[in-house]
Amino acid sequence: MADILSLKEAVLVYLDRSGGLRKLVEDCKPFNDPQQIEAVYRFCISVNPSDVIELDPALGDCVLHNPLAATALFKSVNVILKLTHLPPFPEYTLDLSSFPRGYGPVRPVSMEGLVIALTRVTKYTQGARFLCINDDCPCSTGFHHIRVHAPGATESATVGNNFSCMVCSSPLKEDVKFRVLGDKQLVELIHVKALDGLSAHQQSSLRYQSVTLFLRDPHKVSSSFQELLKFTAGSPWRFSAVVAHFFGSDMAPPGLYHTLKLGLLLSLVQTKSDEKNTFHNLDLLVVTTDTLIPDRLMMYSLGLACRGVRHQASGEMFASLSKDQHGAGTANIHAGSALLATGGICMLGDLGCYKKDRLDAIQSVLESCTVSVFIPGKKYGEDADQQLSFPVQCSFWALTESTDASRRSGRADCAILGTALVAHAQSLQVELTPEAEKIIHGYYMASRRVRTQSQGVKMSVASIKLLDARFFPTGASALVIPPDAVFPCDPGDVDGLHNRDVTLDELHQNILRFIYAYAPGADTYITEE
């Protein structure tokens, strides 16, 4: 008893020093609402094992080697201990290529691997309230029988019809209006070296077996990401700058490929359907002298899409036909990479590997957002020919080299394909804020005015293309264009972000001055800032 009391005292001291008690008070505030009545209250407590060991070695040993008992020490109805990290020792790392045999100590372990399969997110019961069917029993009311999910337990262990009252042994029935639900997902993980078996250049006799993990209550947005958004809320440019700066740091060091990283992120968040079932997408074409790092960044980003498909040169891009093998006597239509990527991203890779007919097909699909399949009647047992159309609802990512050698070899018709991307982008219905729309309108009015003035400064087409509305203004026609207006400063620290804000704000003001100077009547619809 003395040991348990000392451990509980250490728990209280740790929660006090780490801010856990303060967070617990904040988590309890929503439950003060008289309209909110629940049978189970669930709390998540972040635990830093290093701090716990320094405070009390016995408690630290319990947290790392007996997590269920440690949870009971922290427990208040339903508590989840979330370890911020684990000690950097082999005992706390599970190597998927050497899975342990036998039953060792049940301790938390970390593992890294390749996700080869996952289920959709479904619900499970975190906790439920049960009442005794005997009206004379005190457990027929109140909250005497509460069942909560335990790690490793099945759904039937939390909710079922075979539970008995602890007082009178009568059957219990669930009060379903007090059931508390959570999210769960199954993920199949395998060692990353298993990809060697798919390589045509390296064959291995090794065989890998996957491990299935249960993920419970997956968070959509991490708290650190929300803190970053809160920290950068005072600037219209900072959040995107910081995210793009550090995005994909394993593929490309921070500070490189800003525009590509930002484009990939925008494409990922833009590729979705709205409430009216209208699909929105953002296609990317990267023209570069070296495709290695852009290809790696695209592959890294593809894993973040809700559905990401990399097209293989040997496979079908859109749709193909075959004779039905089940006796139906009709055509079997096989979905290609683009249709398999519906709702997500289809990565085409290096366009230099495609012939002209394939590029023409890509251009046609980009213009119409549909795939047409012609079914010859004679070949597939029909009286007449048929043509079916399927909507293409994915974003395409592609890259190509801009070297003279590739142009001479005729490997890619970048001009034609580039026009088709641009044409598709122009067909999208983009919603602008009133302020951004007014600035764009005034900017082009001023641009036309400058062009028509014989004594005016001639504007280049490139300078017009540099315009973006307020959030990422990157240049202005008759003005001096900064060498790198999108990322003029290092977004890696606060001073760099401040200097970046100052530069972009000054550029924004210069655009407004340009509009006031050359656009007639601009002061009537654009407020001077």
R_g (Cα) of the chain, nearest Å: 30
Nearest to 58 by CA among 18, 13, 22: 13
Nearest to 216 by CA among 122, 85, 111: 122
**CA geometry: angle at 79 spanning 73 and 82, to 5°?**
95
Quote the CA–CA distance of 231 and 226 in Å, as a whole number: 9
Mean pLDDT along residues 299-326 = 82
Encoded tokens for 446: 């001023």
Tell me what pLDDT residue 148 has.
86
pLDDT digits (tens, 9 = 90+) for 384-399: 888 888 899 999 999 9
**CA geometry: angle at 82 spanning 80 and 86, to 5°?**
145
Query: What CA–CA distances, in Å, run from 293 to 132, 256, 285, 412?
Result: 64, 10, 14, 20
Encoded tokens for 110: 């970390």
Mean pLDDT along residues 161-165 = 90
**CA geometry: angle at 466 spanning 460 and 469, to 5°?**
130
Mean pLDDT along residues 257-268 = 88
Q: How many CA atoms lie within 13 A of 401 on its CB side?
A: 16
Q: Is the pLDDT of residue 314 over 70?
A: yes
pLDDT digits (tens, 9 = 90+) for 396-421: 999 988 764 444 344 444 444 444 47
Mean pLDDT along residues 54-64 = 91
Tell me what pLDDT residue 202 has.
55
Of 24-28, 229-233, 439-443, 472-476, least confident by mean pLDDT is: 472-476
Which one-letter amino acid corresponds to residue 296? R
Quote the CA–CA distance of 94 and 99 in Å, as a whole number: 7
Which is it for strands 279-280 and 386-391: parallel, antiparallel or unpaired? Answer: unpaired
Tell me what pLDDT residue 376 has.
85
Tell me what pLDDT residue 160 has.
85
Tell me what pLDDT residue 400 has.
87
Q: Is the pLDDT of residue 4 over 70?
A: yes
Tell me what pLDDT residue 207 has.
75
Decide which of 298 and 117 is more confident: 298
pLDDT digits (tens, 9 = 90+) for 67-78: 888 888 887 667
Tell me what pLDDT residue 472 has.
33
40: Cβ–Cβ under 8 A, 6 or more apart, which residues? 77, 78, 126, 127, 128, 129, 146, 148, 178, 180
Tell me what pLDDT residue 469 has.
30
Tell me what pLDDT residue 131 has.
93
pLDDT digits (tens, 9 = 90+) for 222-249: 667 778 888 888 887 788 888 888 788 7
Model confidence pTM above 0.85: no
Decide which of 25 and 432 is more confident: 25
Q: Is the pLDDT of residue 480 over 60?
A: no
For the chain, the average pLDDT equals: 77
Tell me what pLDDT residue 355 has.
86
Q: Is the pLDDT of residue 221 over 50?
A: yes
Q: Is the pLDDT of residue 528 over 70?
A: no
Q: Is the pLDDT of residue 462 over 50?
A: no
Quote the CA–CA distance of 111 and 488 in Å, as a whole number: 39
Q: Is the pLDDT of residue 23 over 80?
A: yes
Q: Is the pLDDT of residue 513 over 70?
A: yes
Tell me what pLDDT residue 130 has.
93
User: Counting beta carbons within 10 angstroms of the beta carbon of residue 47, is it exposed (0 to 12), middle (13 to 18) or buried (19 or more)?
Assistant: buried
Q: Is the pLDDT of residue 306 over 50?
A: yes
Q: Given the structure tokens 């701090």, which residue do they identify?
A: 51
Long-range contact list for 92-96, CB < 8 A, 24+ apart?
92/64, 95/191, 96/189, 96/190, 96/191, 96/208, 96/211
Quote the CA–CA distance of 120 and 306 in Å, as a whole number: 11
Which is it for strands 122-132 and 172-174: parallel, antiparallel or unpaired? Answer: antiparallel
Residue 80: which H helix or E strand, with range? strand 78-83
Q: Is the pLDDT of residue 491 over 70?
A: no
Tell me what pLDDT residue 91 has.
81
Which is it for strands 284-288 and 279-280: parallel, antiparallel or unpaired? Answer: unpaired
Tell me what pLDDT residue 58 has.
92
Query: What CA–CA distances, in Å, run from 440 to 203, 237, 448, 476, 500?
Result: 57, 18, 12, 11, 22
**Are the C-beta atoms of residues 273 and 280 closer than 8 Å to each other?**
yes
Residue 426: pLDDT band (50, 70, 90) is very low
3-state secondary structure 461-483: HHHHHCCCCCCCCCCCCCCCCCC
Q: Is the pLDDT of residue 328 over 80?
A: no
Quote the CA–CA distance of 346 and 298 in Å, as a whole number: 11
Tell me what pLDDT residue 164 has.
93
Tell me what pLDDT residue 180 has.
86
Question: Which stretches within 307-459 are classed as H helix?
Answer: 337-340, 356-368, 404-409, 414-427, 434-452
Q: What percent of the chain is predicted at pLDDT more than 90?
A: 10
Tell me what pLDDT residue 199 has.
52
Mean pLDDT along residues 153-175 = 90
Residue 503: pLDDT band (50, 70, 90) is confident
Tell me what pLDDT residue 86 has.
85
Mean pLDDT along residues 141-154 = 86
**Are the C-beta atoms of residues 122 and 187 closer than 8 Å to each other?**
no
Tell me what pLDDT residue 165 has.
93
Q: Is the pLDDT of residue 283 over 50?
A: yes
Mean pLDDT along residues 21-35 = 82
Encoded tokens for 480: 């001096």
